[in-house]
Amino acid sequence: MPTTTAPASDRPSLGARLSRLPSVMVSSRVRQVAFWSVVALGLGGVAFANGSLGIARTPPSVGVRIGLDLVAVFSVALAYLLLTGRRRQRLGTPTEPIRVLWRLLLLAVLLLGAEFSFSLLVEGAVDAKSRLPMDLPTALVAGSALVTEALFVAALLAGLRTLVLYRRKPLAVGLWRGLLLATLLLGLITAGMLPSDDGRRLATAFVLMLGSVFALACAFRQGWVGALSLRQRAIAAAAAALLGGALTGLFALRVTGGAARFPIADALMNGRTLAYSASVSVPVDLVIRLVLIAGVLYTLTATLVLLFQLPTSEALAQRAGERRAMRSLVDLSGQGLDVDSISQAVALAPVEAGLADAAWVALPDPDSGTLTPRIASAHPLSTQAASGAADHRALADGASGEPLVIEHAAADHRIRTRPGSDLGSLVALRLGTGPEAGTLIVARRSPEAFQPDDVAALETFAAHAGLTLANARLFASALERENLEREMALAREVQQRLLPETLPEVAGARLAAIEKPAQTVGGDYYDAVTIDDHCLGIIVADVSGKGAGAAFYMAEMKGIFQAASRLTRSPSEFLCRANEALSPSLKRGAFVSAIYGVLDAEAGTLSLARAGHCPALVVRAAPEASGEPTRTGAGESAVPSSDVARRTEYVRPDGLALGLDRGPLFERTLAETQITLAAGDVVILFTDGLVEARDASGEGYGYDRLADAAARLCARMDHCDPAALRDALLDDVARFSGHPETDDDVTVVVVAWDGLTPA
């Protein structure tokens, strides 16, 4: 196929290249030393030049003042870039913001101590006209204060950046950039300005106010607080309060008389004073003030947020436990096919997640010849103690329709406990349906301890645990009856249960799908779920490898899809969540490619994200059918059909396969695109087995043949039938390869868009 150059939209933008500048600057130790030397020379040179001019009683010209001020401002900016070029913290590491607060507090205390030491050592004085140091001790203190304060404000800005951009949401990034631009603009417009100048006071006040507004908006970006435990919040609140006090003290020293200020040597000034750094560079002094305002606002807000959320930390810990219980669903599929080991995991998960004080699993025991269930596992109590705690047959019957919640266990006839025992309240949940389904019993020591959201989380957990147990029972019973050849056939049956029997419907669209495994059990997976009244989520995935191992990962993928697809309408966000949940259970070298789309029937759009999977094929309606010209979006390749009026597009948003990266690289490389559909358009999602089929000579079927075949077949249909198109494509591949069986799993999902009929 002809090679194509990357479109302009795929090239890094100017903003993206600038955002990588700090990392490039600190990419080697030599570069770090070189750039820090520039910072030191810039700030030290400005301090030396102004000190020398002041001692010599030679006021600098306006041009010299502007030049020196610009050098000082850009030196502070360079120091900030060097500090932010360090390796950024990983998402989900709540201890990093706490460390940032304590580091900044240490630096602020050291700076306060330095300021007071300077005031004790040297009283100093500045010239009333030039406002420059009048003697050598004053020049040394002013220069030292400028360097230390400038470096501190750069560190403070870098620390605030870590806190504000903890999750790097677009709004947070925009507000932070606004604060940085206001800070830089303040330094630039005041270059060459003397403290006594009145000409630029209005502009200076406006920029200070603008920067303060951005600082106030950034102060509400406290996303890192939600990830902290109760103990971590208490520590963070103390650090934020102390840092806020230290920053307030530093700001007060700059705007009030006393320490950290020089008296102005003029009797007419009536004891007026000037901040240390202002005697060297007014722009740097104003920049320091603005950054201190931002620090005070952020630390004050953080302190209040942390203190107000301390009473709710227990509830937040409970929610975190629910998330851990849901994440443990992935681990259940990795327990193998042993019912007892899976039962142990099911009993352990609610207790470790904080949803219960005790839990046990009761399973039917047909070998006993009675209807009394057996206790397969219990935690932390023994199976014997759990067996005598309740009438488990009665609990199973009571939980057959919906979860059975017993708020006062001691008063219920089905519970064999006495008042004052460790069973205060209890919930029984069925692990699936049918006579072979077991029961999960969770208990707490206190009466009325289970809230409705607790029961809902447990119900979701029990449903997925029941599916895992059902699969395990199916495998266990089959392995007892069949030999090794029958194992793979049975695994195929389990896999078919994971595929949807019917596809959901939505107005304006018709769907058809098929999955053909190369072996008895394949690794392909497709599914569709109704997100709301007019949105469908559609996924096609391909697990690396074949056989039963691939089917197990497919079961995990189904659980993740069913649990997470309704939580977001963004395909890229769903794939990020799927990668986070699936990656820990994948063996080394295993991965899952997937393409996920959200069809919005109301808007007539299909949003797509791709995780290392085959592109989506879009067959556009003929111009006479749609009434609109067909357009090819950026980043998509158009393949015109040879003799029909249909056009095709391959939509290829970027993305790594699930499991290849467990860090931020997966999220950074993942792209999302949106296709606008016209009536008569057809979208085909497939796995690589369709295009990699080979004929006797070894030539592959390929993407071009698939696009031509789809366009040709759609053109022959007045009203494209997705099932007929699906079967026709498979027949075309079989004719090309010369045999009906494929060397790889083949999955095809066809979405025919008819459009919504106007009301």
Q: How confident is the model at residue 639 (pLDDT cuts 50, 70, 90)?
A: very low
What Cα–Cα distance (Å) separates residue 406 from each residue in 321, 439, 458, 466, 686? 22, 15, 14, 21, 49
Residue 6: count other Cβ atoms within 10 Å of its Cβ. Answer: 8
Q: Which of 89-98, 434-443, 547-556 has the lowest mean pLDDT?
A: 89-98
Q: Based on the domain organization, do 226 and 359 belong to the same domain?
A: no
User: Distance from CA of residue 697 to its chain's centroid?
Assistant: 47
Predicted local distance difference test score (pLDDT) of residue 522: 65
Q: Based on the domain organization, do 419 and 353 belong to the same domain?
A: yes
- Judge whether 710 lies within some domain: yes
Burial of 163: CB neighbours in 10 Å, binned 0-12, 13-18, 19+: buried
Residues 629, 623 contacting (CB under 8 angstroms) = yes
Q: How far apart are CA 471 and CA 492, in angstroms?
A: 11
| Continuous H helices in 608-716 | 623-626, 664-669, 688-691, 702-716
Predicted local distance difference test score (pLDDT) of residue 628: 44
Residues in the chain: 759
Q: Report cis status (omega within 30 of 0) of the bond before 60.
A: no
Q: Based on the domain organization, do 284 and 147 belong to the same domain?
A: yes
* Domain CATH for 356: 3.30.450.40
Residue 215 token pair? 């600082």
pLDDT 10s digits, 646-669: 789 999 999 999 988 877 899 999
Q: Which of 143-152, 516-525, 600-609, 707-716 has the lowest mean pLDDT?
A: 516-525
pLDDT 10s digits, 64-108: 889 998 999 999 999 998 888 764 444 446 678 899 999 999 999
Q: How far apart are CA 615 and CA 156, in angstroms?
A: 46
Q: Based on the domain organization, do 291 and 268 belong to the same domain?
A: yes
Final residue of a structural domain among 275, 290, 311: 311
Please determine, for residue 156, whether its predicted confidence score (pLDDT) is greater than 70.
yes
DSSP designation for 521: S
- Judge whether 483 lies within some domain: no
- Judge whether 628 lies within some domain: no
| Continuous H helices in 273-338 | 282-309, 313-333
Q: How far apart are CA 297 and CA 292, in angstroms?
A: 9
Q: Is the pTM of this model over 0.75?
A: no
Q: Could you tell me which residues come within 8 angstroms of residue 31 by beta carbon, excluding any fewer than 6 positions away?
A: 24, 25
Ranges assigned E (strand) in 384-508: 404-406, 425-431, 438-444
Q: Based on the domain organization, do 253 and 345 belong to the same domain?
A: no
- Judge whether 39 lies within some domain: yes
Please determine, for residue 13, whether its predicted confidence score (pLDDT) is greater than 60.
no
Residue type for position 345: A
- Section 385-393 average pLDDT: 87
Q: Based on the domain organization, do 273 and 245 belong to the same domain?
A: yes
Q: How far apart are CA 376 and CA 367, in angstroms?
A: 14
Residues 393, 373 contacting (CB under 8 angstroms) = yes
Final residue of a structural domain among 285, 311, 337: 311
Q: Based on the domain organization, do 307 and 331 belong to the same domain?
A: no
* Residue 606: domain span: 499-622+644-753
Burial of 35: CB neighbours in 10 Å, binned 0-12, 13-18, 19+: middle
Predicted local distance difference test score (pLDDT) of residue 606: 95
Q: How far apart are CA 682 and CA 710, in angstroms?
A: 9
- Judge whether 158 lies within some domain: yes
Q: How confident is the model at residue 268 (pLDDT cuts 50, 70, 90)?
A: very low
Percentage with pLDDT > 70 across the chain: 80
Q: Based on the domain organization, do 47 and 126 belong to the same domain?
A: yes
Q: Based on the domain organization, do 443 and 558 belong to the same domain?
A: no
Please determine, for residue 311, whether its predicted confidence score (pLDDT) is greater than 90.
no
Count the domains in the chain.
3
Q: Based on the domain organization, do 527 and 672 belong to the same domain?
A: yes
Q: How confident is the model at residue 296 (pLDDT cuts 50, 70, 90)?
A: very high
Burial of 339: CB neighbours in 10 Å, binned 0-12, 13-18, 19+: buried
Final residue of a structural domain among 442, 477, 512: 477
- Judge whether 631 lies within some domain: no
Q: Based on the domain organization, do 302 and 388 belong to the same domain?
A: no
Q: Based on the domain organization, do 684 and 543 belong to the same domain?
A: yes
- Judge whether 352 lies within some domain: yes
* Domain CATH for 521: 3.60.40.10
- Judge whether 457 lies within some domain: yes
